[in-house]
Amino acid sequence: MSGYEEVLADVGPRLRRVRQERGVTLSELSQETGISVSTLSRLESGGRRASLELLLPLSRAFQVPLDELVGAPEVGDPRVRAAPRRVDRMTVVPLTRQPGGLQAFKMVIDPIDAEPDPRTHEGYEWLYVLAGRLRLILADQDIQMRSGEAAEFDTRLPHWFGPAGDAPVEVLSLFGRQGERMHVRARPATKRQRP
């Protein structure tokens, strides 16, 4: 498979990830772009090849540059540039560049006055609080987390997270498909001393 074919094959999973990150359904995206639900579904699953005719409206709807949406390799400068983007009330910096599999994000979430609106979606998430205090609502639990604390959960449970107070919270998020979980290695056991 050539480099261009690999880039085109990765477009579908990338589009699905971007849509799910924004909590948008295929129907909502169809209404926004004028592209049928079946075409969007086939595009995400790889059953339809990406074209400019399809990608330009999606780029506008997601407010993402076309090269980022496609995952086109940068030419020349080998440095990885994590370009922050604004999504609702948060600044998101993607830390992984490959579509599918485990995705890592750094997020700075601003406080809001609105009531939390827990949502569900396929996947598994691991959160680590870098700075500030995080409020995590997970099913019937309402948890406050401080810097250095971590949580992991199945995203099919109703969940919401944001600042626990009136200051922003900085979070590291690892998100994987359903069934993928974090593997935390425990400290090695010490050898027993012989008497």
What tens digit of pLDDT does each residue of 99-121 get?
A: 666 788 899 999 988 888 899 88
Distance CA 181, CA 192 (A): 32
Q: Name residues whose C-beta falls within 8 Å of residue 78's C-beta, 6 or more positions apart in sequence.
A: none
> What angle, rounded to 10 degrees, do the helices at 37-45 and 3-21 form?
120
Backbone angles phi, psi at 45, to 5 degrees: -85, -5
Q: What is the pLDDT of residues 42-66, one digit of tens each?
A: 988 888 888 888 888 888 888 777 7
Residue 193 pLDDT exceeds 60: no
Distance CA 140, CA 157 (A): 10
Q: What is the reported pLDDT for 114?
A: 83
Contact status, residue 20 vs residue 123, Cβ threshold 8 Å: yes
Nearest to 125 by CA among 95, 161, 93, 167: 161
Q: What is the pLDDT of residues 162-186, one digit of tens each?
A: 999 899 999 999 888 754 455 444 5
Q: What is the reported pLDDT for 86?
A: 83
In this prediction, residue 75 has a pLDDT band, given cuts at 50, 70 and 90, of low
